[in-house]
């Protein structure tokens, strides 16, 4: 079934063809008239104004004029009807919104592509939004995509297993892709397709079946997350270490505990290079805690000593409030 937008577009094309054809036809039949007079005559004919034009034309010209009137009025009525239907159904707003989203996605670089806007995708999108990281949501459910757009997210309606849909989300320019669908086969296929489209993209995939973990790795996933396993481990913590579990729950719920964890890579240009942990005075001046440091060679140093000297390429895992972390970043050029 044709949409009102398609109907309006088709009607506008037909109107243009009729208008141009009428101008050429009248010019051939009225050789003594100028192009401006011919255009003027076509306009008053199609619009049915008819400013007392001569009625003593020869039959061929009269028949041509009748055809112009019939075709012109029909095309104009068809186009106007589609335009009114668009306005009634709000399709103009949807078309403008789609154009805004498309333009917004085309401007993204090093963003995150979130495949699936179910419960997992909604939590992930909300967290990325709080962190002010650019991202695009993909889901086949138009209602879910509508909810994402209402929240101000950039979103694409479609099947994330299709290369065209991933391309619409800018996966070639993306830094990370997260596929969190509850179907392992879909996650494998999305991982394989995305890896072929962007060899350098980081892919984080969800798996329900432990046997799928190996397949996702083979398909190109960098990290595989198993919600069932994580849930089981958390329940075990509630049994064996309930206080620690309560702390982790408070930490993940930022509405209760105003604290966050961030990771900061030290560039060679940072004035933090060569400074020790104690000299950085992260806790005293910024109320921050260095939880761990991942060195450039991949070795992880937990709770670094006070005399640990920061080096270029180190990734610091910091705990604290986001505004304090941001202030620390600015002070040391991170």
pLDDT computed for residue 256 by the predictor:
47
Q: Is the pLDDT of residue 107 over 80?
A: yes
Q: Do residues 105 and 75 share a domain? A: no
Q: What is the CATH number of the domain that holds 291?
A: 3.30.70.1450
How many domains does the chain contain in total?
A: 3
pLDDT computed for residue 89 by the predictor:
52
State the Cα–Cα distance between residues 283 and 269, nearest whole angstrom.
23
Q: Is residue 230 part of a domain?
A: no
Q: Do residues 134 and 214 share a domain? A: yes
For residue range 283-292, what is the model confidence (pLDDT) as tens digits? 778 888 888 8
Q: What is the CATH number of the domain that holds 171?
A: 3.40.50.720
Q: Do residues 76 and 56 share a domain? A: yes
Q: Is residue 240 part of a domain?
A: no
For residue range 40-75, what is the model confidence (pLDDT) as tens digits? 777 766 666 555 555 555 666 656 666 666 666 676
Among 126, 99, 146, smallest CA distance to 253 is for 126
Q: Do residues 126 and 216 share a domain? A: yes
pLDDT computed for residue 173 by the predictor:
92
Q: How confident is the model at residue 319 (pLDDT cuts 50, 70, 90)?
A: confident
Lowest mean pLDDT among 64-78, 99-113, 215-229, 286-300: 64-78
Q: Do residues 68 and 167 share a domain? A: no
Which domain covers residue 130, as residue numbers?
Answer: 96-225
Q: Do residues 127 and 195 share a domain? A: yes
For residue range 150-165, what is the model confidence (pLDDT) as tens digits? 888 988 888 888 999 9
CA 2 vs. chain centroid, Å, equals: 27
* CA dihedral for 314, 316, 322, 326, sign (positive or negative): negative
Q: What is the mean pLDDT of the chain?
A: 80
């Amino acid at each position: 079934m044709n949409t009102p937008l398609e109907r309006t577009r088709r009607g506008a094309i037909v109107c243009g063809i009729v208008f141009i054809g009428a101008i050429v036809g009248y010019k051939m039949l009225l050789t003594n008239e100028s192009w401006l007079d011919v255009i003027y005559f076509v306009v008053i004919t199609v619009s049915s104004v008819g400013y007392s034009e001569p009625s003593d034309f020869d039959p061929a010209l009269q028949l041509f004029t009748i055809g112009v009137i019939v075709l012109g009025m029909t095309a104009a009525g068809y186009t106007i009807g589609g335009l009114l239907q668009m306005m009634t159904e709000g399709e103009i707003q949807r078309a403008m919104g789609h154009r805004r989203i498309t333009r917004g996605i085309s401007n993204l670089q090093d963003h995150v592509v979130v495949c699936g806007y179910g419960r997992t995708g909604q939590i992930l999108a909300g967290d990325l939004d709080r962190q002010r990281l650019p991202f695009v949501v993909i889901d086949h459910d138009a209602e879910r995509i509508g909810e994402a757009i209402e929240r101000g997210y950039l979103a694409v309606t479609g099947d994330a297993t299709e290369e065209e849909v991933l391309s619409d989300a800018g996966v070639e320019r993306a830094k990370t892709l997260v596929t969190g669908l509850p179907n392992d086969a879909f996650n494998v296929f999305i991982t394989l397709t995305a890896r072929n489209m962007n060899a350098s993209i980081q892919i984080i995939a969800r798996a329900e079946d432990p046997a799928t973990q190996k397949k996702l790795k083979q398909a190109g996933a960098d990290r595989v997350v198993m919600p069932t396993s994580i849930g089981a481990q958390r329940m075990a913590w509630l049994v064996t270490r309930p206080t620690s579990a309560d702390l982790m729950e408070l930490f993940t719920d930022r509405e209760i505990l105003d604290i966050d964890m961030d990771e900061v890579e030290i560039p060679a240009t940072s004035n933090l290079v060569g400074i020790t942990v104690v000299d950085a005075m992260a806790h005293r001046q910024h109320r921050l805690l260095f939880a761990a440091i991942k060195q450039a060679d991949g070795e992880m140093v937990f709770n670094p000593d006070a005399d640990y000297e920061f080096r270029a390429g180190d990734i610091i895992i910091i705990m604290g409030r986001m505004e304090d972390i941001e202030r620390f970043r600015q002070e040391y050029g991170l």
